[in-house]
Chain A
Amino acid sequence: MGNLSLDIAHMLAGGMVLLSFMLLYQDRMYALLNVFALHAVVLSASVAWQAHIQSAPHLYVTAVIALVLKAIIIPLALRRIVAQLGIHRTIETVVSVGPTMLAGMGLVGLSMVVMLKAAAEADPLAREDLAFALSVLLLGLLMMVTRRNAVSQVIGFMSLENGLILAATGAKGMPLVVEISVAFSVLVAFIVIGVFLFRIRERFDSVDIEALDVFRGDQR
């Protein structure tokens, strides 16, 4: 039984890393949103599994928040924004897919080496969960760097936050304060982003961050 629970936790966390890779090469808005929703579903399943094997019922709350908010409400809202703004065509990336994927693999390798070594004394479940979580976090960071479009940067940021929740739930017995605050902060962050997207739209008819770069205080 011990092995099986470890294997399932592995599969789910590994699935999130895989989906993070898929996020990296999506070049259509709607496809990107769908993959992100799937990312959140797998996160929710992973958190629920942790709740089961740690017999920590409060983690189910986190799982439900992840499912409802990140897999349903936010993708739907972003879909509406994308439709309203008419930016469902191709996404511009700064770096092409090949180098991005290679960089992503490098980052995953790095996080495995760092975490497996640093957490050598922790139990294998927590250790490998942390390694996967760090991979998801770094891939989210990579996605934010390689995208110019505001909506895809937001998705990169939220996939990064998913990695954090994976790490927080993998740390056995971590107080609930933090999980709720993470979920709550995502909500707040989302409101902020929503406000900004609309304002940016209002001003530029574009959510391309490059359009913003023209207005640099020093170059006038």
Chain B
Amino acid sequence: MRLSPADLPFEPVTAVLLIPAAAAVLLALLPGYWLSARLNVLAALATLLSALSLLVQRPAPTGYLFVDDLNIVFIVLGAFVGFTTSAFSTSYIGHELETGRLTPTHLRFYHAMYQTLMFAMNLGLLANNIGVMWVAVELATLTTVLMVGIYRTPEALEAAWKYFILGSVGIALALFGTILVYMAARPVLGEGQDAMVWTALIEKAHGFSPNLLNVAFIFLMLGYGTKVGLAPLHAWLPDAHAEGPTPISAVLSGLLLNVALYVLLRFKMLMAANPAAIPPGPLMVTMGLVSLIFAGFMLYRRRDIKRMFAYSSIEHMGLITFAFGMGGPLANFAGLLHMTMHSLTKSAIFFAVGHIAQAKGTQRIADIRGLTESHPVLGWGLVLGVVAIAGLPPLGIFMSEFLIVSSTFARAPLLALLVVFGLLLALGALLLRLGEVAFGEPTGSTAPVKASYVPLFAHLALVLAAGIYLPGPLVAWFQAVARLLG
């Protein structure tokens, strides 16, 4: 039976925003770990269901919210990863509570912040107003800052402080860029509300002053690029991933970086719609390539396992930015596919790493050995995840990386060589560390750990399935989005 929107108690768009917001308030008030952890999962599931219902029936755009082919990809993906991460978080946080790293008060705060983050990300994705978009990204930043610092260890505080300072500067630059876009739009669209509505902006973008748009895009690129984690603005990212609770690392890598990238893509479309403005592609290609190769080198020197995968996120965000910077239907399609695959794989890896760090009581790579013997399920889960993220066939990331490289070869062979170099660099580092961690004589604790394997293997199964066979409707959908991106 197909649901028609009239059967639903809310408009799906409202529900996608209202459920996390209401859940955040409720979870802030409710004591007790057992109930609130389950409510958190339930709220995430309800958000996912309402996000899926957006696929069936799309509302007409208003001045504040809209749904189109592009943002629905991000919303569905975000709601899905948000749901699986909340399921993983239940067992992860239970363990943290037992070992006393977190107190029940912290947990109330943690769950409320988790839902606030979901709300902020959905708002950022749905917003039709570039001001609201900015507010949502700022809100998402603030909630993650608080969550990164939740352990209150010196390392966690340093990470949170660094993230806060760099994130705020990025956000400030992005706001200046937003103001400049408004200034560019004002002579064409008139004063007030209209000149900040994205659907109106994209229609009239060809008439904007190109000089103002150029300066605006540089600020937006630097500002939101900080949030995407592009080198050389990435300094906050490894610390924030390594020191916060692992579910937050999974959400940061799997979702928040995507949201920032989405906002950047919106402004890229705006720039592309104005023929007199500088083309935004080369800037994105350069920053993406620099991030890719830089992160590839940095991967070799990591001693902390979560930090290592944080650098791997920089590498992949660089590659995705590169693909979107190249543009064209094929590269955009590949970038979109790669983004989806990366979100699924990287959050799966963090699910595994979270439980591994709990089992071994450390995040130091040197102290973790022989995982496939001591914790076979987690160990092989990690092996599968790393094989996927390193881009080996037959998993999904291989396919998207292959598409990116081959589409680049056709247009700029030299750039394609650089991309291949960066990818091989990362592959080497990841396999080297994987060999140390997964095989050999087990060290440290071999006690079994209470883990939730379902989210981990659900993600990996999806990545594997996508590597083997992409369903026709999904391909058609992504192709439509790729055309939209230009």
Contacts and interface: CB of A to CB of B under 8 A. Distances in A.
A217 B155 contact: yes
B459 to A, nearest CB: 26
B74 interface: no
A217 B165 contact: no
Interface stretch (A18-26, A68-76, A95-103, A115-123): A115-123
A118 B164 contact: no
Contacts, number: 136
A171 B43 CA distance: 40
Interface in A95-139: 114-115, 117-122, 126, 130, 133-134, 137
B179 A189 contact: no
Interface stretch (A7-15, A27-35, A77-85, A196-204): A196-204
A199 B209 contact: no
Contacts of B211: 117-121
Interface residues of A, number: 52
Contact of B169 (A160, A171, A192): A160
Interface string A196-220: 1001100110000100111111101
A177 B301 CA distance: 46
Contacts of A192: 142, 145-146, 164
A209 B161 contact: yes
Interface string A151-171: 001000100110010011001
A114 B14 CA distance: 42
A175 B157 contact: no
A185 interface: yes
A164 B179 contact: yes
B183 A141 contact: no
A126 B179 CA distance: 11
B155 A177 contact: no
A177 B195 CA distance: 13
Given A121-B209, A189-B142, A200 B161 contact: yes
Interface stretch (B131-139, B254-262, B389-397, B401-409): B131-139
A64 interface: no
A188 B132 CA distance: 16
B62 to A, nearest CB: 14
A91 interface: no
Given A171-B183, A192-B142, A212-B154, A182 B212 contact: no
Q: Which of A117, A122, A144, A174: most chain B CB closer than 10 A?
A: A174
A171 B192 CA distance: 10
- Residue of A119, A126, A137, A217 most packed against chain B (CB within 10 A): A217
A58 to B, nearest CB: 11
A199 B165 contact: no
Interface in B109-162: 129, 131-132, 134-135, 138, 142, 145-146, 149, 152, 154-155, 157-158, 160-161
13 contacts: A119-B212, A122-B209, A133-B176, A137-B173, A137-B176, A157-B172, A171-B179, A171-B186, A196-B149, A196-B164, A200-B161, A217-B238, A218-B303
Interface of B: 129, 131-132, 134-135, 138, 142, 145-146, 149, 152, 154-155, 157-158, 160-161, 164-165, 168-169, 172-173, 175-176, 178-180, 182-183, 186-187, 190-193, 195-196, 209, 211-212, 214-215, 238-239, 242-243, 301-304, 307, 364
Given A119-B209, A212-B157, 20 more contacts: A121-B187, A126-B183, A130-B179, A150-B161, A168-B179, A173-B190, A175-B131, A175-B193, A182-B175, A185-B135, A189-B142, A192-B164, A196-B149, A196-B157, A215-B155, A215-B158, A217-B242, A217-B243, A218-B304, A220-B303
